[in-house]
A and B are shown apart, each in its own frame.
Chain A
Amino acid sequence: MINKFVHIVLLTLLTLASVVGSAYAQQEKLLEAEQALKAGDYEKAKLAIDLAIVAEDVAIDPKAWYYNAFINKELYKKKEATSGGMTYRENALTYIMKCVSIDKENKYSNECKNIIKYLLSTIKTDAVNTLNKEDYKASFGYFKYYLTNYHLISNTIDTSSVYYTGYAAHRIGNIPEAIHYLDLAMQYSYNDPLLYIILSDDYLATNNIKQADNVVMLATEKFNDNKEIEQLRVRYYSQTNNITLLILSLHQAIRTAPKNLDYHLLLSQVYEKLAVNDSVNKRSHLQNAEKSYFQILGINANNITANYSLGIIYYNQAVDIINAQNYNIDFTTLAQIQDECIDLFKKALPFAQKAYELDPTNKNVLEMLSGIHFGLNDLDKSNQFKAELENLKK
């Protein structure tokens, strides 16, 4: 009986000794890590801390996690460019967050802040570098991580990072995230027209017209004479089919850049499209288009679209006049109509000829020339252009 009791006591003592010994060993490892760290031997320090941290009493010690983060941060610094380096940074970030979460007495808060600051600055550098290399997916990931943890090191807002996170998200087609960050950047008054351009596009892509309208309006207020914002308005109002505002913005854009052919071309084409869809005011829309095309020719007499379009406006006008006639009109009216149409065909001819000179293989131009000569009853020339057209179609 006594023997049995002694046996139990001995076993208990042995177990206790083993536990105490083990705990002592882990603390030893922590100490070893600390010494290696002080000596700058981070590989050795890492081996020691990895063994030490598994012990329960060490795992609840913020100092151990701070050491662990510090060691991994230093190893990252040494091996930054390698994939292993990235793992050290990830570890460092995980361990420093752990330290922050268990350091109730804020004993390591300053040290933690410095490590986080350093690690986040490297992440921001990576975000910018990948953005410059147009690796938007990676850039978005870095920026997002950076922003999520930015509050740990500063009470301010890094507005440009907010914007670039949205920009990267936009470029990878992650529209909800793009809208989230760009809208935030807009609220923080980030001052770049591109923000408004992208944000309105993204709102439009998600059919949120109300917000898109609002962004375009704010952009107009903020950057009224900005070239890109003028282009935004033109694109936006044409995409939303707001013809009145489209015409207004084109006129304004032309006032700012009177020699910009794109604006003149768009304006002419808007009027042309209006003429097609609004038969009541067709004539006045065509007159506006005509005026606009003449302005283009004033800037560049060799603009093929303007030459072709003026030719076609007059040619189609003649055709429309004849088409609109009843078969029972009298000879006098018919003679007047013929005169009017011949005048229009003659008016169309020089523009058509110029367009032909600029692009002799343009099928539309050849068709128009054949039609004009036919209308002028010059059948030989009409057939000549018809033959050229047929040859092109072969």
Chain B
Amino acid sequence: MSFMRHIFVAFVLLWVSMLEVCAQDVNSKIKAIFIYNFTKYIEWPENQKQGDFVIGVLGNSNPNLIKELDKMAALSKIGSRGFVVKIYNSVEEITKCQLLFITADKSNLITAAVQKVAKNNTLVIGENAGQIKKGAVINFVYQQNKQKFELSKTNAEKSGLTISSSLVNMAILDEK
């Protein structure tokens, strides 16, 4: 019966395969959900309420986040406004945008970027430690494996943005 045993073992080997890892950057999806929610809890001045809502991304080290933002832009709206995602490789490239996300690899450019958008009522978001101190309104952080966000009311006020108290309650406040 060794002949049949070989057949069965060959059959098992053929059948048994390793399930593939779902290639999904869960953190980027969560960030995109956060970003979408920020637009609901923050109010921009009247002059920023027309046309498409532009999300600028400085840096391209986080292609998964860009993909998620593109998906979000295709599927969602803010009121009747559509989303547009723009990628900037340098501070000089930054144009008028309502939200500017600075990826970790460009976090050293935050001061320059904040200066560049200072008069545009732009919500600047970072994802590296210390970004609030350098002028970001929101900064993504991880606490106990969980993605959370720091928020600076002061920086928001400087940018002419009004933050809802609900958002403040959910944030880690960083006002030092």
Q: Which residues of chain A have a CB within 8 Å of any CB of chain B? A: 194, 197, 228, 231, 234-235, 238, 262, 265-266, 269, 272, 305, 308-309, 312-313, 315-316, 318-320, 322-323, 325-331, 334-335, 338-339, 341-342, 345-346, 364, 367-368, 371, 374-378
Contacts and interface: CB of A to CB of B under 8 A. Distances in A.
Interface string B1-25: 1011001110110011111111011
B30 A322 contact: yes
B4 A231 contact: yes
A368 B29 contact: no
Is the interface on chain B under 10, 10 to 19, 20 to 34, or 35 or more residues?
A: 35 or more
A364 B18 contact: yes
Given A262-B9, A342-B145, A377-B146, A305 B21 contact: no
B19 A313 contact: yes
B21 A368 contact: yes
B112 to A, nearest CB: 25
A323 B29 contact: yes
A316 B22 contact: yes
A329 B72 CA distance: 12
B17 A322 contact: no
14 contacts: A231-B8, A235-B8, A238-B15, A322-B26, A322-B30, A327-B36, A328-B36, A328-B37, A329-B33, A334-B37, A374-B27, A375-B26, A375-B27, A377-B27
B24 A197 contact: no
A237 B6 CA distance: 18
B19 A316 contact: yes
Interface in B17-59: 17-22, 24-27, 29-30, 32-34, 36-37
B10 to A, nearest CB: 10
B8 A262 contact: yes
A338 B143 CA distance: 12
B76 A327 contact: yes
A374 B146 contact: no
A320 B24 CA distance: 9
A108 to B, nearest CB: 45
Contacts of B34: 334
Contacts of B8: 231, 234-235, 262
Contacts of A308: 18-19
Contacts of B16: 265-266, 269, 305
Interface secondary structure of B, over-half rule: helix
A339 B146 contact: yes
A104 to B, nearest CB: 49
A96 B44 CA distance: 111
Given A313-B19, A319-B22, 10 more contacts: A197-B4, A308-B18, A325-B29, A327-B72, A327-B75, A328-B76, A338-B147, A368-B21, A374-B26, A375-B27
Contacts of A374: 25-27
Nearest to B83: A327
Contacts of B32: 327
A285 B32 CA distance: 31
Interface in B131-158: 142, 145-147
A266 B15 contact: yes
B145 A377 contact: yes
Contact of B24 (A238, A323, A330, A378): A323
A333 B20 CA distance: 28
Contacts of A266: 12, 15-16
Nearest to B77: A328
Contacts of A367: 21
Contact of A194 (B1, B11, B22, B76): B1
Nearest to A229: B4
Contacts of B37: 328, 330-331, 334
A338 B76 contact: no
Nearest to B143: A377
Nearest to B32: A327
A371 B32 CA distance: 18
A44 B26 CA distance: 95
Contacts of A322: 24, 26, 29-30
A318 B22 CA distance: 10
Nearest to A352: B21
B24 to A, nearest CB: 5
Nearest to B149: A331
A122 to B, nearest CB: 27
A341 B26 contact: yes
B1 A315 contact: no
B170 interface: yes
Contacts of B9: 262
Nearest to B12: A262
Nearest to B17: A269
- Which 10 A-B residue pairings sit nearest by Cβ, starting from the closest? A377-B142, A319-B22, A327-B36, A376-B145, A231-B8, A327-B72, A319-B24, A322-B26, A367-B21, A262-B12
Given A322-B29, A376-B145, A312 B21 contact: yes
A228 B4 CA distance: 7
